[in-house]
Amino acid sequence: MRVIVTKNYEEMSKKVAQLIAAQLLLKPNSVLGLATGSTPIGAYKNLIDMHKALELDFSKAYSINLDEYVGLSEESDQSYRYFMNENLFNHININKDNTYVPNGLELDEKKACSNYDAILEKLGGIDIQLLGIGHNGHIGFNEPSDSFSVGTNCVALAQSTIDANARFFSSIDEVPRKAYTMGMAGIMQAKTVVIAASGQAKADIVKQAIYGKVSPEVPASILQLHANCIFVLDEAAASKL
């Protein structure tokens, strides 16, 4: 594991974008594992800038996202498909047919999950996986539990996640209670994992993920076992290390 500490959110975002850009330059048809939330927005802005200013080329790339709320369509401005279109895909030259997000409208949970695992298998796995980390240590929507999930699964969101994500909805009642998330197999089989965190509020969980016991109670702790995992932190998120 490598830990890179940057000065602030802007520098963290630049570093994350550089790692993804380097992957894409070396292998234009890379499979990019992408994440939503506040943390990656700055990295996506940097990638858009690199696309525009430096002609960073996404035309041969594939992407597969970590998760999606159950019940939200891609037109819903809270869906993660909508987020990806708005924050990245609409501004770069990726072929949207080559971008994958779990289908929130597929209410047959088994089918939704097995379809997504089949997509991941067809893509041949992920070259570089970007992750954020929840305050409770979740990665994707893999919430603290008594065992690590393996394949794509349907999760009941933890109350702390519902509370944290309520800021994106007009009321907490609108936050979906369930989500589809890629499991640990997809994440751990990625050739490179980049996990980003910013701000004091993440300092405790970052410390637990890096130095704590590997445990499904802190899902991100599994990354201690990944052969090529890079934590990119700002000073505040790294302040307890």
Other Cβ atoms within 10 Å of 90 Cβ, number: 11
Residue 153 to residue 48: CA distance in whole angstroms: 31
What residues act catalytically? 67, 136, 138, 143
Residue ranges of E strands in the chain: 2-6, 31-34, 62-65, 67-69, 99-100, 128-131, 153-156, 178-181, 192-197, 229-234
Q: Which of 132, 176, 186, 219 binds ligand PGA (CB under 6 A)?
A: 132
Residue 134 contacts ligand PGA per CB under 6 A? yes
From residue 166 to residue 205, the character string flagging contacts with ligand PGA as x (rule: CB under 6 A) and all else as - is ----------------------------------------
From residue 56 to residue 75, the character string flagging contacts with ligand PGA as x (rule: CB under 6 A) and all else as - is --------------------
> Which tokens is 159 given?
């109350």
Residue 39 contacts ligand PGA per CB under 6 A? yes
Residue 11 to residue 21: CA distance in whole angstroms: 15
Q: Which of 50, 133, 203, 237 binds ligand PGA (CB under 6 A)?
A: 133
What's 7's DSSP letter?
S
Stretch that binds ligand PGA, among 16-24, 44-52, 129-137, 184-192 (CB under 6 A): 129-137
Closer residue to ligand PGA, CB minimum distance, 134 or 183: 134
Residue 38 contacts ligand PGA per CB under 6 A? yes
Helix (H) / strand (E) element for 45: namely helix 41-54
Stretch that binds ligand PGA, among 24-32, 49-57, 127-135, 207-215 (CB under 6 A): 127-135
Closer residue to ligand PGA, CB minimum distance, 61 or 197: 197
In this structure, are residues 76 and 169 in contact, taking their beta carbons and an 8 Å threshold? no
What's 38's DSSP letter?
S
Sequence-distant (6+) residues with CB within 8 A of 175 are: 157, 162, 165, 166, 169
Closer residue to ligand PGA, CB minimum distance, 133 or 222: 133
Binding residues for ligand PGA restricted to 8-37, rule: CB under 6 A: 37
**Per 3-state DSSP, what percentage of the chain is helix, strand, and coil (rounded to 5)?**
40, 20, 40
Residue nearest ligand PGA (C-beta atom):
37
How many residues of this chain interact with ligand PGA, rule: CB under 6 A? 7
Closer residue to ligand PGA, CB minimum distance, 37 or 113: 37
Residue 64 to residue 182: CA distance in whole angstroms: 10
- Report how far Cα 100 is from the mean position of its chain's Cα atoms: 13
Q: Binding residues for ligand PGA, per CB under 6 A?
A: 37-39, 132-134, 138
